[in-house]
Structure 1
Amino acid sequence: MRPSSNALILVAAALVGMAAMLPGIGGPIRRALEPLRFAVQSHAASQQVAIVEMDARSVAAIRRWPWPRHHYAAVIDRLRAAGAATIVFDVDFSSASNPVDDRAFAAALKRAGGKVTLPTFGQQAGAGDVRTLDALPLDTFRAHAALASVSFSPDVDGLVRALPFATITAGTPRPSLSAYIAARPGVADADYPVDFSVDPATIPRLSFVAVEHGRFDPALVRGRNILIGATAIEMGDRYPAPLRGVLPGVTIQALGAETLLRGVPTRGTPLATFALALLLCLPGVRARRRDVAAGIFTAGLVALAVVVLAAQRWLAIHFPLGLGWLMLATAGGLFVTRDIFRRFRAGRLHDEATGLPNQRALVGQRAGRTGVACVVQLTNLEELSAVFDIAQVAQGIVRTAERLRLCSAWDAVYRVRSHQLALLLPTHEIVEDQLATLRTLLLQPVEIAGRKVDVAVALGIAEDGDMTAAALAAGDAAAAGVFWRRAAHNRDRLENAVSLMGELDAAIAAGQIEVHYQPKLALATDRIASVEALVRWRHPERGFVSPGAFVPLAEQTDRIEPLTLHVLSRVIADAARWRDAGHAVTAAVNISAKLLDAPAFIAAVDRLLDTAPIAPEALIFEVTESAAMSDPTVATATLHHFRRRGVAISMDDYGTGQSTLSYLRELPLSELKIDRSFVQYAHERESDAKLVRSTIDLAHALGLKVVAEGIEDAENLAFLRGVRCDYAQGYFIDRPMPFDALVTRLHDRNAPGAPATQTG
């Protein structure tokens, strides 16, 4: 099975996601998106940390470097007096200075009572030397101060993104400065991501020289952790950071402390982002419209960002955002590419006005598919175009195609020309039955611009699947003003017909010739009173062979006699069975005109009637009006013979031949069947209504029953009830059905107590 394009898009997105988890690919993506994710969440500092800046103002005031340590001593005393919680230096105290100043600084540390923390750090031994030397404060200072590491390493691109929890200096693990302030434990050399969404400008700041001289608001110090470090440009100690640009080292340390004060951040597994992104891709790739897909993918990007950023802000879990965005962008890009390709392809394979598949699509998609070719020609397209605009006419064509699609073997209807639609009818159904269904569907008006409009059509049928021949037949039907025509036989079709007739005798013997029954509804009782027997050939290779394809050929090749006798014997047997089941229903059998003057046939029918398990009165012989009139003398004598035996005689398709009133008087008729061409519009056209009404009145005056054929809607049936028609037959009543289905139908419809509801 070939994978769907949706699956391929998801696989591609997954592969991109897996590639993005590789350090060499995912790292640059992560670093590129970091400023965005920090900017979106930018917020103020907690105010638990304040910075005493060794700023340009202080540098200008002290004017020496290194600064004499009595300045630091004075600042410690000022901050302690103001109520600082802790005092943390980011200043090197690893070497001795003026002894007096060193003693003053040591004394200040002692007075602070352990509130002061001094830095340790590692530094390169020298140019070209890979060794690292550990720097610790002087012994005299360490006696009354805690130690914390200020060492950190920039990322591969030079930006600082993470700080350590602890480092080892002089063989001893020491907490990092930020971890010490936040009182967060950690493993040496394990780091955590710094939250650069904290705005450095919101961290409280005091100038070193101002603190030294007592010119500051003690409220800015009270209860806070105070970081003391260089911010003046000339002092160096500056590092680039995501979003925030170049920051002093002491500010980065303060941001690290702010990060840990909110919670210990962890790095979430990329697999979680991968799974969520893949899940968000799924509804996007399944969308049918580009605008809907765009909305879904955009919503996915937003949803992923919300989830990732929420996890970062409130759970302190840093999931990779770029990985998921890259997957969604890949899936969205592939969807758009596929959509563009499909639109381009659809433009080549679809009619621009209606969106229906076109002739090129029919040729491309028909390979290996079989069916009965049907071309529907719109015979009043010019009139519709004169009344409606192009879009409205296209709407009418689409509505017609939707009805045709109900009968299509492919569930597809093609607009092969401006005035022609094409489809394949399935071969497992009788063509005439399908055409009756199509006729019923196409008789209903379509709605165009809020108006009910008739779309007139003519159909061409080619049972060998030849669309060209079907199109020619449709044109012939339109020219003749009839609903449909079968394609003319060419040499191949003639050879096929000869072969078919050669198989007919064997088909009868093998039981391939079946009899189906179409009910006739007695309108006075609303019960099924009679059925018409219809021959069906279920060919083992060709499927159902239409009666229109083999019955005329059987007449031409003198095989109609054994075919008719087979059908009659089958009907007699079936009628006996349903009568034994309690259903007193008559059965009508069609008799060809060629058989009315065939002594052998007449004798064979007499033998069947003599041995039949049913009375002849249970049978009706239907003959077409034109057949009865082809040789009136012989036909009349034959029909009188059967009538004397008790078989009822019905004239089929009444109104389509050249009968006269004298024929109706002379023939031994029991009923008339009014042709569907007069019945189907009788409830709408007054002229047809008059013809039907007068025919019924005439038949009743002659003592005949009347059957109306081709009933296709409830309004038509209601009209026939109103004009006192005896029987109604058509697809609205029932389709032809095999024996078992008929018996079930008779039981449901005719059983005592069965509801006499409207049929349809």
Structure 2
Amino acid sequence: MIALSSAASGKHPRARRRLQQVAVALLLAAVVGLLTVAGAVRPFENALQNAGFTMREHPASGQLHIVEMDAASVAAIRRWPWPREHYARVVDQLHRAGARTVAFDVDFSSASDPRQDALFARALARSDSTIVLPVFGQRESHGSARQLDSLPIAALREHALLGSVSVAPDPDGLVRQMPIGTLNAGAPRPSLSAQIAHRSGAADALFPIDFAIDPDSIPRHSFVAIERGVFESAELRGKDVIIGATAIEMGDRYAVPAHGVLPGVVVQALAAETLARGVPIRIGWLWSLTLAALLSCWILAAAAREAVAARAVATVGAMLAFWHVGSFLFPLRIEMASGLLVLAGATALRTAVLLHREFERGRLIDAESGMPNRRALEKRIGGGAGAHVVAAMIDEFDALRTVVGQAEIGNLLSRVEDRLLVGGCQGPIYRIDDRVLAWVSSQELYELENLCSGLGAIMRSPVEVAGRRVDVSLAFGIGEDTAISGAVHAASMALRSGDIWSYHEDAGKVALEQQVSLMGELDLAIERGDLEVLYQPKLELATNRVTSAEALVRWRHPTRGYLSPDTFIPLAEESDRIGELTLFVLRRALDDLAQWSARGTVIRTAVNISARLIASAQFVGQVERMIRADGIAPDRLIFEITESATLRDPAGARAALMRWCDLGVAISMDDYGTGQSTLSYLKNLPLSELKIDRSFVQHAHQDRSDALLVRSTVELAHQLGLKVVAEGIEEAECLAYLRAIGCDYAQGYFIGKPMAGDDLLLAIEEIARAAA
């Protein structure tokens, strides 16, 4: 008895869950069904059908040709209505060409000059082609239910079939379907398209037009060209021809899905092409709703979010495959939107339930962002000395929430998290407060300064959320060891003072000690030659060859390991050691230039000159003496300076630059665009080159504003006689864009990473062989 009772108790919860799943599926189906009946799903259905037309686009059969009353014909005839002798001559020409059917989408319901009517009637009578003339009905007046029918005049009807050209726009004004026949003058009339395609059906029954047919693929001929016999008769032999207006001034135009606005004759032709394949069979929304309700039970039974996603993809994919294949291979018109909405609703509901359960199981996750929360951070660093906490506080967070909406805050935080990880943060990233993210770092405190500065630069680019581009500004706080609150307080202080980052008091003391120690070791590293100089190639776009390179210093510390230049160069500037470091790099660059020249490779090398050194008479003199004594042609050197270097002391900077220019050294403005100078200001400096900062170049082939800035800078720089270097090239598409706008040089990882001198020579040779 106990065993049986246990088994029964195990079955009952499963049975209840299944009943709940069925009930939820039926409720979803009922809600979507009501929305469908109310018309709320129709826009989604229309959009889905439009997407299907785009995916299934195919050319017309070629059996149907359009003779268009185009602008050229209007200009040639210069009267309206056109004398009917013109139509007579066209019918005769088509008769001689052997056209199978000639259908008119032109109103002949009013008599014209009797002679003209007789000419046209005789042409119809002697034609061997099947002639179809239009009939149509229209309301007597606004609000009237009475229909006025328009038929061709009796003299013309004797020699032709009649076809209805009535159009049935949807409530939104777009023509998606056409009648296969209409009631006109008390009699059922096949539509023009049904007459051409030889299809039958009930009057006033509508069929959907296949807008997957490319209207531009329907062969067209100018009316006046046919009238004058300027065409190849063989092209129209055995073909069906429909004649109608395409000239804009004739006004016969309709809005349609997928193709915008089309002339009425083209719409009639698409309808005929549709019927030529067979009268489309409609499969309404109820079948997809029923099938989706059954499939949603399977989705609602999924035990994990991954399974929900997999089942959703499988069910939606199966329904879309049936919809696509049925529409492509057979004349089926299947309504799918209601069923897809049921599946989407089931997927969303099940996902929401599972997310709620996961949150309840793991209180270490922030529900809004999906990131680990403050409890998770405290658990990680509990008692763990030696690690530092970095807090990132989001400025104007409440305003951002208002802009993107509460539902998109998680998406926004996820985008910020991605930026932080790409920028060098040691994940995971924690959300420890409403507007504060944090992470634990094993880096030295002085290294974190440059990391935070770099992250601040990365965040200058807008973040895209739900189609909106929003600016997200961060302030960073650095805490010593496990001081979470200290890091948050430091971030708050940085935000108030307008700084990128700030230390908590204890962390600041430790960082200062580390910096002093490191700068003492830098002196020894320069003396012993522990630093190394690498070269990043610059590609000359006009010749597709490497003709210059930038010298970059690297420090492999014996105990601290590899140190980023962003770590020790700012410290060298602050501690007045940047002069010795720069002279070391220049000395190494001159030596390498001499070695390369001896091996038959002549290129130019760029050396970065700190803003602190530009106006230093002692440094300028040291550089002059080194260049004069070395024997290397000075024109092989390029000195790269920043915008800020010239803005601090314009007169002193200009004087120093002129002294180097007099030696033959070229001057390049580095990181252009990140400062405050303009090209009109720079024309007063002895520059030969501009380097556009990577933050503008990297996405110039994708971002319209960046592209505009880069293009205008290149054009204006060329007008001032300056060459332009674009740095930060990481994609072939970006390089192609720079070629297209006439940029002179490109530099970045796509061209080549910083490398030793010997490796640079090999890279130059390889690029030269590829360009040959």
Q: Compute the TM-score of the two structures, normalised by the length of structure 2.
A: 0.45
Larger Rg: 1
TM-score (norm: length of structure 1)? 0.46
